[in-house]
Amino acid sequence: MNSTKPESLQLAYEGSVKRVWSSPGQADTLWFEFTDDYSVFDWGKMPDTIANKGRALALMGAYFFDRLSKKEFWEMLPSSLHLQLFDHAWLQKRWSHAVFNGLSNEGAQTHFRSLAQGADHVSDLKKAATDPEPVLMEVVKAEVFRPEARNITGNTIYFYKNDLTASRRLIPLEIVFRFGLPSGSSLIERLAKDPNYAGTLGLKRQPQANSFFEHPVIELYTKLEPKDRLLSYQEAALMAGLDGKTFENMIEMATDVALGLFVMFADRSIELWDGKVEMILVDGQPMLADSIGPDELRLMHKGCHLSKELIRQIYRGSKWENAIKEAQTRALSLPNKGWKHICKEELGAAPEPLSSADKVLVDQLYGVITNHLIRSEIFSKHPSLDQYVKSMPPKFISQEQVPAGPQKV
């Protein structure tokens, strides 16, 4: 194996929380380096970091990809008692679909290859958690065709030009799955504005706050635009450049993966409320890509958030968050000015670092979840999940009772 040390690779892309590395000698491969940086409210890099975050995300991502790739996992999924929460007839349609048949025969196809540290594959997770070398996720490379933004009559319009001849390309969508309506969900506001939207999602009745649906639903958002934008299925299908069968298979696969993750977390006494997955198209077939972990999922245990929502709670209601809302409103009538520029330069607002008490709490978050999920003390000197939740200040604990099951229709 070629060396995977960052200094021997070329930086292909750097986002607010992740670096992507490439190698001239391995044109079909990329390496993801998850950093300890974090971002909330689409702001980008925040003023401080979170201990162990990058390593924990790499280890958890590998754990999920590995389990989802095993056909044995899918063979057992329909018999999981955790799925008795959901509509039986709806589930039977999933189990009889060709996509699920493929999963139960071969496992999920993912872009994940291995974890690497230095010039070696990672085999000892505890050693990987303490070794100073960064942990890199080796993945299949896919072409990314970014949209062209044009200002037309004062409106910013994005034009997508996918190269349909590319053997591997990113599907430019964020595929969001939702199991229910927890506090803080953006779906609450959309349903309040348009009660008929529940029917668009395939639900038979108006959802209630802090309850599970009769089955999970899928929403689609932009992936490659400055701010995520909710799409209709029609717009998403055209934007992605997929034919009808491939688009349907993508939705089915995302739904099956969501159900699989729901069961994995339920086995650990953690509630999965919503999350997102991304996919690449390989030889005309959707393949699970990006990563899976607390930054992509909304997780709860005994009324406490165990994902990035915990950090959002810290900043929610702050002067900075209020300024973001105002800046985004102003930006609608000022297409030549980005909302971040307005927030910083015109409103003089930027995020403050975490307080010392909040920093201690957040620094333990990713290590606690990793240890609990993998059932091993990967990160030492961390409390158990129950000890961690018990240590949380009351402001982080929901007082609302969550029903044991979905609404019955």
| Distances, alpha carbon 107 to alpha carbons 96, 103, 214, 235, 339, in Å | 16, 4, 26, 30, 43
Residue 2's pLDDT band, with cuts at 50, 70 and 90, is low
Contact 118, 127 (CB under 8 A): no
Q: Tell me what pLDDT residue 168 has.
A: 95
Characterize 88-112 residue by residue with b for buried, 16 or more Cβ atoms within 10 angstroms of its Cβ, and e for exposed: eeebeebeebebbebbbeebbbbbb
Q: Tell me what pLDDT residue 5 has.
A: 61
Paired tokens of 292: 């899976």
Q: Tell me what pLDDT residue 153 has.
A: 87
Q: Using CA atoms, how far apart are residues 12 and 104, in angstroms rounded to an integer? A: 35
Q: Using CA atoms, how far apart are residues 406 and 47, in angstroms rounded to an integer? A: 40
Q: What is the pLDDT of residues 233-269, one digit of tens each?
A: 999 999 999 999 999 999 999 999 999 999 999 999 9
Give the CA angle between residues 168, 172, 173 to the nearest 5°.
125
Q: Using CA atoms, how far apart are residues 18 and 129, in angstroms rounded to an integer? A: 17
Domain assignment present for residue 183? The answer is: yes
Q: Using CA atoms, how far apart are residues 319 and 311, in angstroms rounded to an integer? A: 15
For the segment 110-131, the average pLDDT, to the nearest whole number, is: 88
CA atoms within a 13 Å half-sphere pointing along the CA-CB vector of 204: 8
Q: Using CA atoms, how far apart are residues 53 and 359, in angstroms rounded to an integer? A: 13
- The lowest-confidence range among 267-271, 334-338, 353-357 is 334-338
For the segment 73-82, the average pLDDT, to the nearest whole number, is: 98
Indicate whether this model's pTM tops 0.85.
yes
Contact 292, 299 (CB under 8 A): no
Domain assignment present for residue 215? The answer is: yes
For the segment 361-378, the average pLDDT, to the nearest whole number, is: 96
Q: Using CA atoms, how far apart are residues 378 and 262, in angstroms rounded to an integer? A: 23
Stretch (H or E) spanning 339:
helix 339-341
Contact 68, 108 (CB under 8 A): yes
Domain assignment present for residue 338? The answer is: no
Stretch (H or E) spanning 372:
helix 356-374
Residue 380: other Cβ atoms inside 10 A: 10
Number of domains within the chain: 1
User: Would you give the distance in Å from CA 181 to the centre of its chain?
Assistant: 17
Residue 121's pLDDT band, with cuts at 50, 70 and 90, is confident
Paired tokens of 271: 């509630």
Domain assignment present for residue 229? The answer is: yes
Q: Which amino acid is at 107?
A: G
Q: Read out DSSP for 224-261?
A: SSSS--EE-HHHHHHHHT--HHHHHHHHHHHHHHHHHH
**6: CB partners within 8 A, 6+ apart:** 19, 21, 33, 134, 136
- The lowest-confidence range among 9-13, 280-284, 314-318, 395-399 is 395-399
Give me Rg for the CA atoms of the chain: 21
Say whether pLDDT at 86 is over 90: yes
Domain assignment present for residue 192? The answer is: yes
Domain assignment present for residue 330? The answer is: no
**388: CB partners within 8 A, 6+ apart:** 364, 365, 368, 382
Among 388, 323, 391, which Cα is nearest to 352's?
A: 323
Residue 386: other Cβ atoms inside 10 A: 13
Question: Residue 152: beta bridge partners?
Answer: 155
Domain assignment present for residue 331? The answer is: no
Say whether pLDDT at 212 is over 60: yes
Say whether pLDDT at 406 is over 50: no
Most confident of 153-167, 181-195, 210-224: 210-224
Mean predicted lDDT score pLDDT of the chain: 92
Residue where the block lists tokens 């139960």: 104
Domain containing 131: what range? 6-320+351-391
Q: Using CA atoms, how far apart are residues 4 and 114, in angstroms rounded to an integer? A: 12
Say whether pLDDT at 178 is over 90: yes
Domain assignment present for residue 396? The answer is: no
* Residue 110: DSSP 8-state: B
For the segment 340-353, the average pLDDT, to the nearest whole number, is: 95
